[in-house]
Amino acid sequence: MGRTKNVIDEIDRRIIECLRKNSRITMKELGEKVFLTGQAVKNRVERLEDMGIVQRYTVNIDCPVFGYKIHAIIRLQLAKTHIDAVKNLCKGEKLRVLHYYQTTGENCYFFDMVFLDMDALNTFLAQIDPLCQYELHIVLKELHNPEL
């Protein structure tokens, strides 16, 4: 009896967890971890991709290795007409946007960014100050929850 196309089972959950920990794992190795053949696990991964659950394979960059010493989450409240101006300010060698989100709330955006140093952060904040209200959070350390 075939599985329903859009149903996630325990094996799918284990596959997702393995990919979350190591997206470069081979299908053979992944199959061994979830007790399937390489082809069977490949079929499941392709189905998870088709469902939009597995969307991209990324590289997590240890930003201090590249000189980015300051990691900040910045909540901005700005008019949609100013978003392009803020995006343009995000281009440069002294800062990097890791992620940016539009969220619920009145014109609310979150920018996950790294900066070479406090001077680069302060320069960016001075540039966005006339465009929006913002709330700054400096990341002290990244916490990994193996339960997620």
User: Domain boundary residue among 38, 59, 80?
Assistant: 59
In DSSP terms, which residues pair with 103 in a beta bridge? Answer: 108
User: Domain boundary residue among 35, 59, 83?
Assistant: 59
Q: pLDDT tier at 35 (50, 70, 90 boundaries)?
A: very high
Domain span holding position 33: 1-59
- Is the same domain home to 52 and 93? no
- Is the same domain home to 82 and 119? yes
Report the CATH number that the domain containing residue 78 is assigned in CATH: 3.30.70.920
- Is the same domain home to 46 and 92? no
How many structural domains does the chain have?
2
- Is the same domain home to 17 and 71? no
pLDDT in tens, 81-97: 898 899 899 888 899 89
How long, in residues, is the chain? 148
Please check the confidence at residue 127 and state whether its pLDDT lies above 90.
Answer: yes
* pTM of this structure: 0.64
Which residues fall within 8 angstroms of residue 121, CB to CB, at 6 or more apart?
70, 72, 95, 115
